[in-house]
Amino acid sequence: MALPRFTDMDGANIYTWEEYPIIPSDRADISDPITVDRYFTEYLRAEMLIGRKYLIKRGKWTLQWKAIPENMVLSIQYFFELAYFRMYPDAAVAYYWEVFIQNQFAPIWQPGGLYNLTIEVAQYS
């Protein structure tokens, strides 16, 4: 099994994780996400309603990295700045989840110049 990776929505700007995060499972490819929440949103343009949609949360993952270098933090920060990106559980497979980061991007500096980082990603449809 290869390392997981992120890409932008075009499949470009690939970032393969340098190490696995700590997640509540034996594997980095937690599958079978469960529907847990529903949201209703409206799309406005020039203050005129142009559409409505129900958003259904399909999955949520909390990824925790311990003692990672600054270049890895900066690579993950790029994806935080995107509104939406792809998360592949295995860089060697073609399937992915379209996710976004839900929490604040707040790496914690550790002695020795390394960082701890926790991000929550969610999938909506």
> How many domains are contained in the chain?
1
> What pLDDT is attached to residue 26?
47
pLDDT tens track of the chain, all 125 residues? Answer: 567 788 888 877 887 776 666 555 444 455 545 556 667 777 777 888 877 777 777 778 888 888 888 888 888 888 888 878 888 877 777 888 888 888 888 999 998 889 998 888 888 77
Question: Residue 103 and residue 121: Cα distance in Å, rounded?
Answer: 8
Domain coverage including residue 29: 5-124
Burial 73-102 (b: 16+ CB within 10 A, else e): bebbeebeeeeebbbbbbbeeeebbebbbe
The answer to whether the beta carbons of residues 93 and 119 sit under 8 Å apart is no
